[in-house]
Structure 1
Amino acid sequence: MALPADPLAGVAPSKAEAAVCKPHKRRSWGRDKYLYLMLVPVALYFAIFKYAPLFGEVMAFKNYRLSEGIWGSPWVGLDQFRKLFTSLDFPEILRNTLLLNVYGLAFAFPVPIVLALMLNELRSERYKRILQNLLYIPHFMSWIVLGSIVIALLSPSTGVVNAVLKLLGIEPVYFMASTIWWPVVFIGSSIWREAGFGTILYLAAMASVNPQLYEAAAIDGAGKWRQIWHVTLPGIRGTVAILLVLHMGRMMDVGFEQVYALQNSAVGSVSEVISTYVYDRGIVGLQYSYTTALGLFQSVVSLLLVVAVNRLIRAMGERGLW
């Protein structure tokens, strides 16, 4: 027996029905207009303070004169770069910049991870919150204030550290005037200010780890150390990889404020970095084209480092930045 034909077969749907059935490929601008409006200040900030200054990079290829402006100054090609690379100061400031960043990568970068692991294991939420607040506070203080505190603590005559050394029978040490101790103070103050705040991302990554993995590890007989090694650390590996890529992008840059607050003439051979050199030669010495060439070199090397490390991270199986 033949089945009855579908009476709706071959009938095209109306435009209204097609609009309802068809999935939306784009979000309605009208519905999200306030969200896009909130992006306007951010877009303006990046356009004005990040992208517009890029046109000033042409100063690196000119002999900039204040009276003639950027576009009126004569072109000199790569003369500023030749002057930079043949300068006697360039090897020293490049070495100091790289060494301080390598020290930071070796000693300061792992500290937030360790702190986050310790905080994650605390069971008392109240105690955990108090510790987190105490660790975050230094991040919100300026380097001028923190630098003054560090100098006061390490003073050879009135500092607390040297007072303790005297009680132990050790001669006072002028930490801030020693080319050996100054990098140690620099890295130590960096850890003091940024390590606590850096735990935020790692704690957020640990909170996203599936609790059932810990239960399965405990059933298999894994203790706390085993759970941290086989569950927690693999769970935050992607976050560590991304932050490592970002850190490598700053390998050619040392924060000006910190160095300027702790620097003195006695340790200039280990404390003079690219940022302070640009300030001294570019702003104080009015050598704008010369320091622009240095800044352009710094940016290009940082970009290459980010691309290289990101490719390495992706080759190791992580997502990377892109």
Structure 2
Amino acid sequence: MKAKYLTGLALTLLLAACGTQNPGSSPGLSGQDAQALSEAAAGDLALDGGLLADARGGSSLQAAALGEGARNAIGYRLPRRLVHLLNAAGAYLPPAGSGECSVTVSPTDYADADDDGVPANVTVAFDCAGTRANGTGYTTEGSVTLSDTDDALPLSGYSAGFTGFRTVLTRDDGTVIDHTFDGSLTLDKRDASLYAIAKDYSQAVSVTKGANTYTGSAEFEVEKTYAPELPDTPWAKGTITVAQDNPGSLTWVRGGKTRNLVWYTDPTLHYNRADCASPSRLLNYDAGAKEWVYTRPSGEQDTLRLEFTGCGQFTVTLNGEAVE
């Protein structure tokens, strides 16, 4: 696979859903499996970008690299952190006042004493459906709960919980892409120079083309660390580590076959929003790699490696061979 840019988590598992539904007789990972898995891996990395985007101060969103849907979300006066997470999730909201979107914030008078973009506690529910200017139909529904670890300290960390969060896109050719997301994302300050990130979530995609429907799903669980390079601007750049002796886990279903994988960084990933941020790019990394390991019933292993070669660009190999 050539170096590429990922433009939204809405693509996550798309290849898993659109690829052949015949898993074949091979017990190992195929080239199509590798393509699908690389999309899932990249989508997981995009979530880190939503977690680490700078939401401090009322003007922070104006300088942020946001897609159209997230830029529209600003008009609903949502918590700033939520706008970044919606951006990472590839969710679309129409312009405020369009009449196509009901957004309920509870409590309406939520507190954000430290002005870090994360309220002490708030739940936002979405019920949105309509047609975009380009003719694509959309649905965004479900809820997100944000909780600040300490609303008196702007860098203390926070948690985000997604419940029944669902986006649907209907293209003008009739293709329907239905994506669901449930689970929790947590960022905690471990000490003066280190943050802990925990993610425990599941997602699924179904793609309907004519009379055919293809499906894929994944359950992720991981604990990782983020070490900022600049103490005064911790969300600008830093290193992300998933230890090989404490790897993340993935339960992945594609083509009727369930596989369990582990994954870790080797070497550590370099997050660089300061130099890489762009509205068309969610993967603000410029170096490092993730390895995903599947152990076959025979004990043999397949290794998928996603390695960054520049801002948002990466290559993918399966057992050392390029994935095209």
- Structure with the bigger RCO (C-alpha within 8 Å, sep 6+) is 1
The structure having more radius of gyration, on CA atoms, is: 1
Task: Tell me which protein shows more strand as a share of its residues.
Answer: 2
Is this a same-fold pair by TM over 0.5?
no
TM-score (norm. length: structure 2): 0.28
